[in-house]
Structure 1
Amino acid sequence: MNKKVVISIAVLFLAGLTAAFMLFNEQEVLKEEAEVQELPSSKDGIEIRTEKDAYTTSTDRIVLVITNNSEETLGGTLFEVEKKAEGQWYKFPLKESGPIEAVGRSHPPNNTSTITLFTDELKYDLSQGAYRATFAGMAANFEVIE
């Protein structure tokens, strides 16, 4: 066989093996489907967004910005990260250390505040793809890029 053909076959084989490994790894990480697939980014005078539209796989933090234009204080609630795979949202697992710092915090009316998720709180490293931060029945979409 021609040397170029052998190299081409080897490259294609490795690419296929890599794709299969990534799919297997993604299935291991994303086991639990999100309870709600469609979430707004704002409701009742409260809006959430991430500080950036895109984060890199090596980022050490994701910042959620909460703008409370309502007349009531928003109490602490769960802040979770979900990843989209094959058209569905899945919970991105946290380490066993407990909930993200959002629990117990309050967000006063007519104010903007932030919650920071340090990525070392996640059970797995971030990989490229579509993600969302969920908080108080809302979602802020963001991308993770290389």
Structure 2
Amino acid sequence: MKYNNIVLFSTLFSILMIVSACQSTQNLSEKATQQEIPNTKNGVILTTEKEEYKLSTEEITIKIENKGTFDFESDISVSLQKKVDGIWYEIPHKEQGFSEVGIGIIPGETDTLEVKLDDYKYKFNPGEYRVVQDGLAAPFEITNS
């Protein structure tokens, strides 16, 4: 009888581990092409408004600060990535498309963009994330509280 309980417990534990591993990446199958991305380049600094957001957050505010000597120009498209087991994965958008709208930030100026989490095909959960725009990445964390 003890042997049957051990086998049953081991089987259930294995199934639980497999299910939780699958849930941690959900539909995250595409690894980010760049694993290491700086948050600053040529005097332009990309950060999020907060380092930590609650799970109930609907949007992330990113700040683009131009401390360089040249104008910074970029489109407003951004991507979100999540770190799972030390690897960054792309979070897919609900709709594929591109943006013709751009931003320009002169030296000494700062601008912000709102990233709506509802625009992504992903059920956000606690963990490490980053916003990527124009070769820069701004890390942030989503927590339960």
Please give the TM-score of this superposition, normalised by the length of structure 1: 0.80
Please give the TM-score of this superposition, normalised by the length of structure 2: 0.80
Q: Deviations over 1:28-84 (max 9, x none)?
A: 421110011111111101011100101112101101111011232222233111000
Q: For the structure 1 residues 18 and 103, does the alpha-carbon distance in structure 2 shift closer, same or farther, using more than 3 Å as the test?
A: farther
1:34 and 1:90 in contact (8 A); partners too:
yes
1:4-83 paired onto structure 2 within 5 Å: 19-77=17-75, 78-83=77-82
1:67 and 1:113 in contact (8 A); partners too:
yes
Gaps of 5+ in 1: 1-5
Q: How far apart in 2 are the matches of 1:128 and 1:108?
A: 36
Q: How far apart in 1 are the matches of 2:54 and 2:20?
A: 18
Gaps of 5+ in 2: none
Secondary structure, counterpart of 1:25 in structure 2: helix
Residues paired across the two proteins, number? 136
Higher strand share: 2
Q: For the structure 1 residues 25 and 103, does the alpha-carbon distance in structure 2 shift closer, same or farther, using more than 3 Å as the test?
A: farther
Q: How far apart in 2 are the matches of 1:111 and 1:137?
A: 19
Alignment root-mean-square deviation, CA: 2.5
Q: How far apart in 2 are the matches of 1:17 and 1:145?
A: 26
